[in-house]
Amino acid sequence: MPSTAPRLIRSARLLDAAEARIASEFTAPPPPQNALTTEALLALAHEYQPAAMIVTHTTPLRAADVAALPDCVKMVATVSVGLDHLDLAALHARGIAVSNTPDVLTDCNADLSMMLILAASRRAAEYFTLVKTGWTRPLGLSDMLGQRVTGKRLGIVGMGRIGQAVARRARGFDMDILYHNRSRLPPELEAGATYYATLEDMLPHCDILTLHAPAQSSGAPLIDARTLALLPRGAVLVNAARGKLVDEAALIDALRSGHLAGAGLDVYQHEPNPNPALVGLPNVFTTPHTGSATVETRTAMCMLALDNVAAFAAGQPLPSSVKA
């Protein structure tokens, strides 16, 4: 590449199509064989002197890390929607532009959420375990009964892009859509869903509750013992948003007591080492934070990150800039 091509480094190898684009449009060192630690990324930044860095959630940049970046770094593009791994205030204070990758993963996250809803309601984890470990006798009429999803009342917390996409899919199961959001949607986006101004008012009406909201600024869980108690007995909880939204100790108690029939979880308070007492429960269906994990979506995320770097290098507005 000509020396004028934008200089960048990345904390992890991107998908093949994105790596091919880097080779043709950017100046960059070879991709790392394994995801870099923050310390290794900082060392590479000082050695290579890039204008931009592409990172993922596995390589956080806290305030001290941002302070240690060389002055040449003017942009950080994260291959994620979430920003929990970045100290935005510190980055913006140094005049470093930040971008993320919204929109392109909406459908895959909504698909996964529906999978969690179905799997948790129909006891998929228990069925899978039974067949894999030795299904030795026919099940009786009353054995291992799950919950029908069709026609149930689905409560959605956070009716943004992903929440709305989940609602569209749920309508295919004739579900009654309820939602709680910071503000009510216009009628054309609400599409017949019932709005609740407070979470507490909505919860008693939810057969299934699915979370699609950001973590609270206070850091306190949105779903705790008090709010779980407001759900009808036998309800199902799904979380494909943020692990910090749920008090896991309270969730374990609700699942063990039978107040909740089951849970479908893609995110946890402690990743990648979730609480074994939680994931070991038979009525919990788990996936390892894989809401966007398809070839199509991860490729689109990588390409959007590169679009942002290219726009920044050309002095153009970023397609998905994260504002201060």
SS3 for 194? Answer: strand
SS3 for 285? Answer: strand
Q: Contact, 11 vs 55, CB < 8 A? A: yes
The CB-based long-range contact list for 1-7 (8 Å cut-off, 24+ gap) reads 1/25, 1/26, 1/27, 3/27, 6/51, 6/52, 6/309, 6/310, 6/312, 6/313, 7/48, 7/49, 7/50, 7/51, 7/52
Euclidean distance between CA atoms 20 and 22, whole angstroms: 5
Active site residue 289: yes
Catalytic residue among 161, 169, 259, 289: 289
Active site residue 271: yes
Active site residue 168: no
Euclidean distance between CA atoms 20 and 14, whole angstroms: 9
Joined tokens for residue 265:
């979880």
Per DSSP, helices labelled H in the chain are 16-25, 38-48, 63-67, 88-93, 106-121, 124-134, 161-171, 187-190, 199-202, 225-230, 248-257, 276-279, 295-313
Catalytic residue among 122, 242, 248, 298: 242
Write out the catalytic residue numbers. 242, 271, 289
